[in-house]
Amino acid sequence: MTFYTYGYLTNHHNTWQYARIGLLIALLIVFIGLFVYYLRHRWNVKYKDMSIITGTLLLLVLGFQINSLVSLRSATEQTGEITSTVTTVAKQLHVKPAQLAVNATNTNTNLLIKAPQGYYRLDYNADGSAYVLEKVQLHRPKITLIKE
């Protein structure tokens, strides 16, 4: 079973976003350079073809980036929900949020909290607006703790 610390949940960043933005900028620069070179030398058709290929790659990477940003936005909203849940549970248990770990990165119906006092289960009501915190005993737990 994998548990994520509060630090991991709050500081987890997607570094691929920066690489994709860098790739977009590089492709845009190459595209503009090839297109300008083609406009100056219209007799050389290979630069026209290369600029079309680069433009197509640019649009493809841009589509991936937009899709990834939408996914990142929903993941950020879900992470915000789970971190607020962890802070309220920390207040109830009278510990710091950094001492808690949770078994999911989004709120679902089967959340387990690892605290210094033991393991707790969060049981949500039907609409997800409230929960019950109860202490549980895990039998032979194989715990993997992912930290920031």
The string of pLDDT tens digits covering residues 58-96 is 999 889 888 877 877 776 776 677 788 888 889 999 999
C-alpha closest to that of 7 among 93, 101, 85, 77: 101
Would you state the pLDDT for residue 14? 60
- Asked whether the whole model's pTM tops 0.75, one would answer no
Which pair of tokens denotes residue 112? 């387990």
Would you state the pLDDT for residue 143? 81
| Helix residue ranges per DSSP H, 13-125 | 16-40, 46-93
| Residue 48: strand pairing partners | none
Give the residues of the chain that fall short of pLDDT 50: none
